[in-house]
Amino acid sequence: MKHFRSLFIISLLLIGLLQGCTEESRELLMNDLSTHHTDELHAVQLEHSPYANDQPKEHQALAQKAKSITKTLEHVTDVYAVSLGNHVFIAPQVEHHIRFELKEFGERAEKKLDARLPSTTQLHFSTDQKAFQELKKLEKDVDEKKIDGSETHERLLEIQEYMKPL
């Protein structure tokens, strides 16, 4: 009998606590959760992308120049790059033993790229493996003209999330 009374009191307390939440506070909580948690990783709203009508294949000269500069760097084994507007996203793969000196390598690479690319270029450089893999896929899709400017823009924003600052 004592257990039932304790269980009854705990149940009433829980019901009272739950009733304390007003409808407004529940809505605020649900809105807060929905803005921070989405079904897609890094979902981006791009209804008005400035690149919606662009063909990204036509704008890869800057990316190609950045790739050729990066390939000349010591210890680079492979590199992928995509450009859109004045933004260049570049991700080299480096020799394994350099992985311990990534910060210094990245600083040297960015300095060299900044010196040789136009001053208006916004450089997004990373040696992160996830960024490398995603840029590899994106570069292939751009080269094969599988995607438009708006989708390229969206995927570059997602890739930027993987790019760790130096």
Q: What is the CATH number of the domain that holds 134?
A: 3.30.70
CA distance 74 to 28: 53
* 47 falls within a domain: no
Residues 6+ apart with CB under 8 A from 67: 79, 80, 81, 90
pTM: 0.67
Residue 25 pLDDT greater than 50, yes or no: no
For the chain, the average pLDDT equals: 78
Most confident of 33-47, 75-89, 142-156: 75-89
Could you give the number of structural domains in the chain? 2
CA distance 11 to 18: 11
Distance of CA 80 to the CA centre of its chain: 15
Residue of 70, 63, 56, 62 lying closest to 148 (CA atoms): 56
- 74 with 130, same domain: the answer is yes
Instruction: Over range 23-47, report the average pLDDT.
Output: 40
**Are 11 and 81 in the same domain?**
no
Kindly state whether residues 6 and 69 are assigned to the same domain: no
Does residue 21 share a domain with residue 61?
Answer: no
CA distance 49 to 151: 9
Are residues 81 and 136 located together in one domain of the fold?
Answer: yes
Same domain, 30 and 61: no
What are the tokens at 13? 């307390």
Lowest mean pLDDT among 56-65, 79-88, 116-125, 137-146: 56-65
Q: What is the pLDDT of residue 30?
A: 42
Name the residue range of residue 114's domain: 56-162
Is a pLDDT exceeding 90 seen at residue 134?
yes
What share of the chain in percent tops pLDDT 70?
Answer: 66
Average pLDDT (114-126) is 93
Please report, for residues 39, 58, 67, 69, 88, the alpha-carbon distance to residue 116 in angstroms, rounded to integers and kept in the order given: 41, 21, 12, 8, 13
